[in-house]
């Protein structure tokens, strides 16, 4: 049983659907060659991110967490990720879009990109840090670029393992 710790409170985490797992696996598979080339570490589901924001301490379990800082190597959590990805579900979407978006963007100076990935349709939202602010981009058919890895990712590859899901490459 996994728990997240937010501001002194402990919250139980539920399990994920098969669709959720397939998307996380597809993303990990797509990112891994670039991750290894850059000497980074990519974690899916079981590595916590530790942060401080709004006077609170929190530990979250992101779906994917990319850490490239060689000094950020605690055995059970990371504090300086450059990329976090959350696959949305009905039970977590509000938290991922509001609480975690605020916590990650306000509490992690190292974070360059935060992705929200839909599992019911081909839809990826990218929050990207600029020199002065955060931008928001939506991709559905076109491929996208991850600055943190200097990598282009095929949107179709994120969704191709979902049997009952039509991706743009297989559309008539």
Structure tokens of 49? 């991110």
pLDDT digits (tens, 9 = 90+) for 91-137: 889 999 999 999 999 999 999 999 999 999 999 999 999 999 999 99
Secondary structure in 3-state letters for the chain: CCEEEECCEEEECCCCCHHHHHHHHHHHHHHHHHHHHHCCEEEECCCEEEEEECCEEEEECCCEEEECCCCCCCCCEECCEEEEEEECCCCCHHHHHHHHHHHHHHHCCCCCEEEEECCCCCCEEEEEECCCCEEEEEECCCCEEECCCCEEECHHHHHCCCCCCCCHHHCC
49 φψ region: left (φ > 0), alpha (ψ -120 to 50), beta (else): beta
Q: What does pLDDT average to over the chain?
A: 90
Which residue would you say has higher pLDDT here, 11 or 117?
117
Residue-wise pLDDT for 25-76, tens only, equals 999 999 999 999 999 999 998 899 999 988 989 999 999 999 999 999 999 9
Rounded-to-integer distance, Cα 149 and Cα 75, Å: 23
């Amino acid at each position: 049983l996994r728990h997240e710790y937010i501001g002194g409170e402990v919250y139980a985490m539920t399990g994920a659907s098969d669709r959720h797992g397939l998307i996380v696996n597809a993303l990990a598979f797509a990112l891994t060659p670039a991750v290894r080339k850059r000497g980074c570490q990519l974690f899916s589901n079981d590595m916590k991110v530790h942060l401080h924001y709004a006077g609170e301490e929190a530990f979250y379990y992101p779906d994917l967490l990319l850490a490239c800082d060689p000094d950020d190597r605690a055995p059970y959590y990371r504090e300086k990720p450059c990329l976090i990805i959350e696959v949305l579900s009905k039970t977590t979407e509000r938290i991922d879009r509001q609480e975690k978006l605020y916590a990650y963007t306000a509490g992690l100076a190292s974070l360059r990109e935060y992705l929200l990935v839909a599992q019911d349709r081909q839809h990826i939202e990218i929050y990207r840090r600029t020199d002065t602010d955060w931008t928001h981009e939506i991709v559905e058919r076109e491929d996208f670029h991850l600055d943190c890895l200097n990598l282009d990712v095929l949107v179709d590859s994120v969704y191709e393992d979902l049997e009952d899901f039509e991706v743009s490459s297989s559309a008539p």
